Structure 1
Amino acid sequence: MFGVLGGDRGVEKTTITAHTQTHRSKEFSWPFWPAVPLYPYGQRRTLRTEVVKDTIWTFDQLQGILYVVVPIRMTVVRLEAGGLLVYSPVAPTPECIRLVEELVSRHGEVKYIILPTVSGIEHKVFVGPFARCFPAAQVFIAPDQWSFPLNLPLSWLGLPARRTQVLPTDSGKAPFADEFDYAMLGPIDLGLGPFEEVAFFHRRSRTLLVTDSVVVIPERPPAIVSLDPYPLLFHAKDQASDPIQDTEEQRLKGWQRIALFSFYFRPSALDVTSTWQTVRDAFQAPDRSRRAYFGLFPFRWKNGWRQSFESLRRGGQLLVAPILQTLILNRSPRAVLDWADTVARWNFERIIPCHLEAPIEQGPQAFRQAFSFLEEGAAGERSLPAEDFAFLREIEETLNRTGITPPAQRS
């Protein structure tokens, strides 16, 4: 059994041979998964990729709900004076920590751990456990942290009290200011709590690190997703009675449908069957095991789903996710555009987001263009099919009507 760590550039390969199943389970174990019960629950693989030789590495893991799985990513940067900075930790499984320790042995200890978001629980949940694995590291967090339903002290959220501090508003006052600039997006008021993200710019490598603000959707399934193909094959089915078939065509089909689920929740090309029909169809399923959700498959895809995917992907252009466009960033468009202008003044040549494709070989102009949907007179999703936004618009109307979130604003 083997895994390819990364893509075409800076690829590292590792071979797992003669491991017992028990040993593999221990290597990939994440025992705290009930805190945020996302697939693959207590077993998480980690793929490490060298992005810039001897300078930047990404660590990809997998997460999702109902087999709608996408990569989640941590980035590690070697500091010029020695040591490492970690941006947005992932689950510190034994395998993940071993891969980090290999870098520590060559480049020095982990000095700084960055939590660059306040609302992404899938990012926040790993910071405390990761920090405990590196007790000499200082932890820096985005301001305005919050939790729901109770706003708990940071130490109650697992962050080490004596080593945790808020990122200074002025990036020049941070202890890593000689190598990094950063800019804070937000806080954007969402009612229950704010949205906030901190973009980091590593000047020496000309690399921009972001959390959720922009992504590029790969045409083919990412390497970390392909290590566990079952979610791809599950969503490649057209109906409950279809058997699972592991082919490259089915993996591609499943990935592209997963992307539509991830970004639109219910794209226009998807029909959701009634509960009664779903139960009836389940009896025709060739696999009614727990893994196959007992044969339940409440979906029907229309013929136009591939066109929806191609429109969403936009030929590999930078994209602000539809949920951010519709429910979050349009709550404070002027602040978002000012932040995008600040980031676009940095001279970066690649972007590493915490999800989907990385690295993205695009620069400041492409980054700024991704936020043009917020400009006065622009249609919010003008480059994407309006019909695919219908369900997100329903959610927005409900949130506005009930007063859970403030309404969208004009730039």
Structure 2
Amino acid sequence: MSGPGNEALKQQPPDQQQRRDWAWPFWPVVPLYPYGRRRTLRREIIKDTVWVFEQLQGIFYVIVPIRMTVICLEGGGLLVYAPVAPTRECIRLMRQLESYYGPVQYIVMSTVTGIEHKVFVGPFARHFPQAQVYVVPHQWSYPLNLPLSWLGLPPRRSQYLATDSSQSPFADQFDYALLGPVRLGFGPFAEVALCHRASRTLLVTDTVMAIPAEPPDVLQLDPYPLLFHAREHGLDPIHDTPANRRKGWQRIALFSFYFRPGPLQVLGLGEALREARQAPDHSLKAYGGVYPFRWQDTWQQSFEHLWRGGRPFVAPVLQMLILNRDPNMVEAWVNRVAQWQFERIIPAHFEAPIAAGPLLFRQAFDFLGVSDDNDGSPLPTADVALLQQLEQTLSQRGALPPRP
């Protein structure tokens, strides 16, 4: 019996019931756009086997998909990796899957670092009281480290993932490998890669991703952020075309990975405010007309270098600030994951699924410099200038350990 498939894209103005279904009242805990209203898009990746649930999040319209993955277990039931905000809409879509494939049995909290992934696990788990919650070890919180129950996880059914994946209750269907902890001054980095053998699907959170050339479907539900960043200056009106959506998305990708890419000029406050007074839209939605950016013509070359034809890669911030602090440990993890037989990767952000197997996965970590198959494609110096400054500053202040 075939279950529910994809949700259709709907861009018409929402009615009152839809607004309630999209509401997420706890958004002040992680005050990211779109704040208290999160839409959910469900996509079926492998029929009756693998689904992704996508929402979006960002700062100042620099928005990206955030994704959880649901896998149907042999014999019935579901495993959920990296939950998203459990809005009414999200839970309704999950109940549809449960009605066809059985209840949620396992929920995996897949990382220790990304609060945007951790904050939803407890609220999500409360909707599925029969599910066991498995957590990546070395969890930490700021300013005090708290027990799992104090982080909102159900105390009697939450436990850390065992180092040996054969000890897990889903070991007959999944392999997993724990990365980390990579010791940092502010807290460790760790996450779990989970491989579903039957579908040949690898799940990761932040370690590997790829950029689609076109804006993801979940961002097309409300294209305003894409069009906001497609402008050349604050005096340009918002004009909705496929080309502008694509341009806005590609610039958002550069913001997301480099924070301040080389081709970007940021205006001074005075100049930005003077321009804003002449802007066609002074609404709160348009940030009062403030658009303090200028893009040089070379921005498309920067995007092409980052995109690399949609191949998987490791985000520059992880390359330069985190994973290079313990390259041998990371390389051992990469080698272990590359032993599995998978043909697609589903990360928690950007493109999914990525058509990639162990070879492309391994090549994404060539920057570590511990293997012999480096493809000779270093990150452009101008694009990573801000990250280099951050690395120097954080190292001087003891927030980053020295490179080995």
Both structures adopt the same fold (TM-score exceeding 0.5):
yes
Q: Which amino acid aligns with 1:396?
A: E
Match for residue 307 of structure 1?
301
Q: Which residue of 2 aligns with 1:38?
A: 32
Deviations 1:198-256 (A, max 9, x none): 00011111110000011110001000011110100111111111111111111111000
Deviation at 1:150, TM superposition (A): 2.1
Which residue pairs with 1:159 in the alignment?
A: 153
Q: Does 1:115 align with 2:109?
A: yes
Please list the CA deviations of residues 1-37 of structure 1 after superposition, one character each: whole Å capped at 9, or x if unmatched. xxxxxxxxx9624376999621111111111101000
Task: Pick from 343, 346, 350 the counterpart of residue 356 of structure 1.
Answer: 350
Q: Does 1:384 align with 2:379?
A: yes
Counterpart amino acid of 2:83? P
Change (3 A) 1:334 1:135: same
Counterparts of 1:361 and 1:310, CA distance in 2: 19
More displaced stretch, 370-379 vs 92-101: 370-379
Q: Is the Cα contact below 8 Å between 1:326 and 1:396 reproduced in 2?
A: yes
1:315 counterpart SS class: helix
4+ residue runs of structure 1 moved beyond 3 angstroms?
A: 13-20, 376-383
Of 380-389 and 247-256, the range deviating more from structure 2: 380-389
Alignment map for 1:177-256 (pairs within 5 Å): 177-256=171-250
Q: Which residue of 2 aligns with 1:83?
A: 77
Distance in 2 between the 1:34 and 1:372 partners?
A: 39
Residue of structure 2 in register with 1:283 after alignment: 277
Q: Which amino acid aligns with 2:81?
A: Y
The equivalent position to 2:326 in structure 1, one of 332, 343, 357, is: 332
The one-letter code sitting in structure 1 at the alignment partner of 2:388 is R
Corresponding residue to 1:374 among 368, 372, 376: 368
Q: Take 1:27 and 1:13, find their aligned partners in 2: how far apart are those partners?
A: 15
Distance (whole Å) between structure 2 residues aligned to residue 257 and residue 286 of structure 1: 22
Change in Cα spacing, 1:15 to 1:373, as seen in structure 2 (3 Å) is closer
Work out the percentage of aligned pairs sharing the same amino acid. 60
Q: Describe how 1:256-275 pairs up with structure 2 within 5 A.
A: 256-275=250-269
Looking at structure 2, the residues matched to 371 and 210 of structure 1 have their Cα atoms a distance apart, in angstroms, of: 14
Q: 1:248 to 1:16 in 2, by over 3 A?
A: closer
SS of the aligned residue for 2:382 comes to helix
Structure 2: gaps of 5 or more residues: none
Q: Does 1:404 align with 2:364?
A: no
Instruction: Provide the rounded CA distance (Å) in 1 between the counterparts of 2:223 and 2:14.
Output: 21
Structure-1-length-normalised TM-score: 0.94
**2:44 equivalent in structure 1:** 50
SS of the residue 1:102 aligns to: helix
Q: Deviations over 1:302-339 (max 9, x none)?
A: 11001100010011111100111011101111111110
- Provide the secondary structure at the position in 2 that maps to 1:271: strand
Q: What's the Cα RMSD here?
A: 1.8
Deviates more, 1:47-56 or 1:369-378: 369-378
* Stretches of structure 1 lacking an aligned partner (at least 5 in a row): 1-9
Q: Which residue of 2 aligns with 1:124?
A: 118
Report if the CA contact (8 A) 1:374-1:380 is conserved.
no
SS of 1:130's partner is helix
Amino acid at match of 1:300: R
* Pair 1:17–1:210, CA change in 2 (3 A): closer
Matching residue within 381, 384, 393 for 2:388: 393
**Paired residues, number:** 400
SS of the residue corresponding to residue 77 of structure 1 reads strand
Is 1:325–1:381's contact at 8 Å kept on the other side of the alignment? no
Aligned to 2:340: 346
